[in-house]
Amino acid sequence: MSRHILAIDDEAQMLDLITACLNSTDFQVTGISDPAKASGMIRQKTYDLVLLDIMMPKKSGWELLEEIRRLPDSPPVIMLTALGETNQVVRGLHEGADDYITKPFEPSELAARMDAVLRRGSMKREKMTAYEANGVEVDTASRTVKADGREVVLTKKEFDLLACLIRSPGQVFTRDQLLDAAAAAGEERLDRSIDAHIKNIREKMKAVAPEKTVIETIWGVGYRLPEKEESSA
């Protein structure tokens, strides 16, 4: 199965090279030279990996890296750097990039680095299966849910939505982000019925933990699962 890659670089020749080399392998590459447009793309679609040039006009790679790291289940990022940009490499790795490659590079080296980063990410996801926040426990391996130690039975769609929220407790998710997460989990896009699914999750949680606010509505934005119950004092 092809892995979806987003390549962001303001140099058209570099994008053409990356696309030509990688589309002949197991990767399906989308190239974008406008970092401002790339900002919208990373929110609208789920990518397996992002190739990111750091030094770009209009919007820097640093800004995009920060935006990517705020996404639910954010994809791994490989920085594309120029020779001699050691300080940029160090900063990028500190700020969340997974690896880097120096231009010019051999296509085979880029493909090998991408495989290694994707493999590490897959191993990390496989190891992390149990999540807990605010008295809610979700185990993605056994697909079980508990609230204050009591089991809650959810449908597949409800479970996938709750799993997305609990992976990043305290973070506000827009409806579109939750829809994308459900789609990535193998569900069809749920359109606006997402509100009904959230309502069902709340009702099922309230049945076993009446005093608990499991999912908060952030009006005009979306939803979040609080890290802990806020004090009413």
Q: Are strands 222-224 and 173-174 parallel, antiparallel or unpaired?
A: antiparallel
Place of tokens 């789609």: 183
Residue type, 96: G
The number of domains in the chain is: 2
pLDDT on residue 232: 41
Q: Are residues 107 and 156 in the same domain?
A: no
Q: Are residues 29 and 115 in the same domain?
A: yes
pLDDT: which is higher, 231 or 199 = 199
Run of H or E residues at 139: strand 136-139
134: left (phi over 0), alpha (psi -120 to 50) or beta: left
Spatial separation of the C-alpha atoms in residues 128 and 140, rounded to whole Å = 9
Q: Encode 145-161: b = buried (16+ Cβ within 10 Å), e = exposed.
A: bbbeeeebebeebbbbb
Q: Are residues 141 and 188 in the same domain?
A: yes
Q: Please check whether residue 231 lies inside any domain of the structure.
A: no
* 191 neighbors 178 (Cβ within 8 angstroms): no
Of the listed ranges 70-74, 101-105, 140-144, 169-173, the least confidently predicted one is 70-74
Q: Are residues 200 and 142 in the same domain?
A: yes
Q: What is the DSSP letter of 74?
A: P
> In the predicted model, is pLDDT for residue 211 greater than 70?
yes
pLDDT tens digits, one per residue of 170-198: 777 888 778 776 665 555 555 557 889 99
Q: What is the DSSP letter of 98?
A: -
Q: What is the DSSP letter of 104?
A: S
SS3 (DSSP) at 228: coil
Q: What is the mean pLDDT of residues 9-19?
A: 90
The pTM is what?
0.57
Residue type, 21: C
pLDDT tens digits, one per residue of 120-165: 876 555 556 788 888 899 998 889 999 999 999 999 889 989 998 8
Q: Please check whether residue 229 lies inside any domain of the structure.
A: no
Q: Residue 116 belongs to a domain with what CATH number?
A: 3.40.50.2300
Residue 177, domain extent: 130-224
**What is the percent of the chain with per-residue pLDDT over 90, rounded to a whole number?**
26
Q: Are residues 96 and 141 in the same domain?
A: no
